[in-house]
Structures are given as structure tokens and as C-alpha cells.
Structure 1
Amino acid sequence: MNWIYLPLTIAIYVCAQHLQRRFNTPLLNPVLVSLAALVALLLMADIDYGDYNQYASILTELLQPAVVALGVPLYLQMHRIKQELPQILLAVFAAAVLAIGSTTLLALMLGAGQEIAASLAPKSVTTPIAVLISEQTGGLPSITAIAVIITGLVGSVVGIPWMQALNIHNPKAQGIAMGAACHALGTARIIEQGEQQGAYSALSLVLSAIFSALLCPLLVPLLTNLIR
């Protein structure tokens, strides 16, 4: 019966999508609802995660081409992006510094050690790159992966309502903010609002990963020594 794990996961996600369309609320984010349902199912049915993942891991492998596919709206908007590239670079660089700096400082001020701070610092970067950054800075990849997932889920749920509450309606600003703050999950959410938002978010996601890979090894030790 192990073969059923993959179609069951897909069915749960499709149901979650219909649920969100039916009630039209960001709290019913399909990824969040699917994750909660799967965790509950595995626990209640006493299913070992290793057995489940053996048959459902193909969905994880599909994450890579899905991220690459985000380059399509980016390509379609390239003529506009070229004209604004310096401003975009500056905005994403500032966002990366703020994300890494605030996370590291907050973790250290709350009593976490450098290992935990280094694990949390790249939380706004897509998972494969965040894990590599964490390893380079002495963090724990498992904690980094969890932090990235939580960041993406929270951002995809509250990101758009939060920007609307702050009167941020510019499609470019929305895209850059979601890509820099909550990586691929945020990009997948904001692309539902329009092609332009998706393009700028995809670019922001890539630039944020590059800047974070360069900045984390510098900022995390610097801030750790500063707090000590």
C-alpha cells in the first residue's frame, strides 16, 4: 500500500487548493493546509516518515525544475528589468543585510549560540542554497531547512495582506519584497497576483540567494563577536 503515498499527497494538495478558492482567505494557504493534513495523517496512522518519503520524495525532486520555471515570467519582463537593475540590486542587497543581521542579532540576544544563529541567518533563502550557507557558517542544516519552510509559509500567508495594510500596491515592490523575504513559496504566492509581480519576485529570489551566500560568512561571525 506504500504506493498510495504519492497520489494521496497530490490529492490532499488539490483539495487544499479548492478549499482556498472556496473561502478565499490567505490562512488556508494550500501548502500550509497540506502540510498540516499530512503531519496529522502520518501521526494518526502511525506511518514512518522514512517509508512515506521513499515514495513521495519525487515531489521534492520536482522543486528544482519548478524554481527554474520561475525564469519564464522573468524573461518576459526582462526589457523592463534591465532599466531598473541598479535599483533592484540595491533594494535586494539591503533586504539581505537586514534579514541576516536582524535574525542573527535577535537569536544571539535571546541567548542562542553561534551555531543556532548561523542556522537561522539564511532563513529567507531557498532551501538548497540556505542549507549550503548554513554548513559554511557552522550552522545545523536541519534547523536551517525548518526555518526556511516556516519563513516561506508565514510569508506566503501574511505577506500580501501585510503589504496591503501598509499601502504597498506597486507590483514591482510587491514582487521584490516577497522574493527577498520568503523565497520560492513567496514567489509562488505573489505570481498569482500577476506576471509582473512574479518576474520581479523571481529575480529578487535569485539575487537574495547570491547576496546571502556572500554576506552570511561575513556578518554572522562579526555580529557574534559584537554581542559577546
Structure 2
Amino acid sequence: MSKAVLKLEGIEKAFRQGHKVVEVLKGIDLTIQAGELVGLVGASGSGKSTLLQIAGLLDPTDSGVVSIVGMNATSLKDDARSGLRQSQLGFVYQFHHLLPDFTAVENVAMALRIGGVAEKVANEQAAELLVRVGLEDRLEHAPSELSGGEQQRVAIARALIGNPVLLLADEPTGNLDENTAGRVFELFVELVRERGLSALIATHDTTLAAKMDRRLILREGTLHEA
């Protein structure tokens, strides 16, 4: 049996809106094995982003346990959680969130630089990955000089640069036109599979979700196999 890279057990999360408490996640259980790609679909406001934030150790749970590569992350202190997130997880969002004052290479290399890698080495590794995603002619371009599809490919390269075991993607092509979205998504899946990574990908596009190994539906706070 392959090793679980993500395990969620009994995850509950609620938000207060005025005097009302809204239960978003109601006892979520989810296991993602090494090398497995899982699509997460659900209506707008169903809690997909909340679930990804919790799985990515960015938001706390009200109850339940989040385990990353067999380690109970729920009980870790903030510094340890940050270290686990930096070393094991990669994130891709609907909006690229690239730093506007830095080039494509610098944006991708930033994660390595934060981890203590020398600038020259980080830039070399970032350039190699950007070439792999087809941006060999855009290495020194600022985000404002790139198309939407190119910006998102930089964001994908940034998520991959630290060699994470798990990628968490929240509507990674939701801000792109249909044709560009399809090409970027195919590239994303290709890169994840060739590196043997796992991924949890939230998308409103059922066609894209159908390309995953498994598809889950988040409905009324609970997960259902599609």
C-alpha cells in the first residue's frame, strides 16, 4: 500500500456571521496516497477553499486532525507547522499572486532563497523549471509583461520548485479563458505525474476534475465520492 501524504480525520470548521454560526465542514475524512491526484468539486461557497486552507496548514480546525506524510500537524507549534508547510507542500491559486517587482526567475527562486539556498543556485534551478513549463523566453520578464497563462505557469513553477510531496491547487485555471485553461491544466497534471507528486485540486470545471484519479464532491459540509 502506498504511503498517505495527506490524512484528514474528523475535520470541522464553522464561521460566525453576526449572531449566526455557519458550519462549513462537518467531520471531513480524507486520505490522499502518494502519487494520487484528487479533484475537489462543489458549489461556490461550499467550503472548498476552507478545506484546502486547512489541509495546507494555513487555517486552524475547530476539531479534527491533519496529518502530513504521517506527522500530526495539528499538534505542532507555529514554527514547526511553517517548516512542514514549506518543506512538504506547494500551493497554486486562482490568481497567480506573483510579486510585481520581481522577474519570473526571481519569483520562482524566492521560495528557495527563503529556505537558505544561495541566490545563484536558486536562480539556476528556477530557470530550469521555467524552461520546462515553456517560458524560456520569459525568464527576465516581470509579471505585468506576461499573459495570464504565462503568469499561471510561473505560479505552477513556483509551487514545484521546493520539491513538495503534495500540491494544493484552488481553482488554478479559474481566471483563464477556456482554451488557455485547458492547456495550463494539462501542463499542471503532466508535471505532477512526471514528478510522482500528489495533488488536491479544487475546481468548478467537472471536465478538468474528471482527469483526476478520483473526484470528490463537497456538499453541505461533507465529502462524497463522485
Which structure dedicates a bigger proportion of its chain to strand? 2
Considering the TM-score relative to the shorter chain, is it more than 0.5?
A: no
Whose radius of gyration is greater, 1 or 2?
1
Q: Give the TM-score of the pair, scaled to structure 2.
A: 0.31
TM-score for both structures, normalised by structure 1: 0.31
Q: Name whichever structure is richer in helix by fraction.
A: 1
Bigger relative contact order, structure 1 or 2 (CA pairs below 8 A, ≥6 apart): 2
